Structure 1
Amino acid sequence: MIIETSSWGNIEVAEEQVFRFDKGIPGFESYKQFALLEMGEEPFGYLQSVEDKDVSFMLADPFVFYPDYEFELPDSEADELGIDEQIVIRNVLTIREPLEQSTVNLLAPLVLNPIKRTAKQIVLNQSNYQTGHLLWKSSPSTTKGDK
């Protein structure tokens, strides 16, 4: 399938890359279909609306940056998404200048079922996570002992 994007023009995506968000994404409820565009081995990717070329989100695999990241997916959410075993977790990034100030939203992960291609952004209740954790806990150029 060919989809139109603002950043890359028309691109071809496989049906397996398109996920259905039955309730949309908070703030973007009218958009239901998004293509997950992964970047090979990189921990980054994009979630591109199939319905609007101007709606996309930069994503990251949270476990690359926060290996201890964990949360309990409520049974009701797992049932709604039809999740049995396979699950993909991605989190939305906010890119800032300088790049070291970029943040990741750990409070509201995107939960994707790669088998049924269903997805939902889950807001974690009673969590210590926030919407703006620094992507890099310290500047990549900072070494131990630096302040």
Structure 2
Amino acid sequence: MKIQTKQFGEVEFTEENILRFEDGLYGFEELKKFLLLKHDDDIFYWLTSVEQPEIVFPLFGIRMIDDKYPQTEDGEAFGIVKLDRDPLKSTINLRAPVYINQESKTGYQTILNDESYPVEYQLFTE
């Protein structure tokens, strides 16, 4: 199978590469199949919809920011990043993590009830 992406051009993949999100992501509940793509020299992962390849979510591993961040046995915690032309204005959503399990090829998004985790946390500092 193949999809055309903005970040990676044409991407060839198999059924085994697809991550399944049973409930989709908030605001995109109809999208259930994604690929987790990354350039070797990039700090971001790109969660790319198989059904609509133009829908892409930049992700960053939350444990890189906060090693005490809540983890589950269900997978690694990622935050959705809001990129800005000025990198110092880019933010990450720590309140609604995306958990991805590479072994089971599943993922889900949840909202934490802990308000100490902001929706817009500044990703980079000077």
Same fold per superposition (TM over 0.5): yes
1:10-49 alignment runs, 5 A limit: 10-40=10-40, 42-49=42-49
Matched, 1:99 2:98: no
Match of 1:58?
58
Q: How many equivalent residue pairs?
A: 126
- State the Cα distance separating 1:16 from its structure 2 match: 4.4
RMSD after superposition: 2.0
- State the Cα distance separating 1:18 from its structure 2 match: 1.6
Equivalent residue letter for 2:95 = L
Match of 1:142?
none
Using the size of structure 1 for normalisation, the TM-score is 0.75
Q: Output the CA distance in 2 between the equivalents of 1:72 and 1:61.
A: 11
1:119-134 alignment runs, 5 A limit: 119-134=107-122
SS for the counterpart of 1:89 is strand
Deviations 1:78-124 (A, max 9, x none): 6xxxx3xxx22211100113111100111111101112111001111
Equivalent residue letter for 1:109 = P
Matched, 1:90 2:78: yes
List gaps (5 residues or longer) in structure 2: none
**Preserved CA contact (<8 Å) 1:46 1:57:** yes
Q: Output the CA distance in 2 between the equivalents of 1:7 and 1:37.
A: 9
Rg comparison, structure with higher value: 1
List gaps (5 residues or longer) in structure 1: 140-147
Identity of aligned residues (%): 30
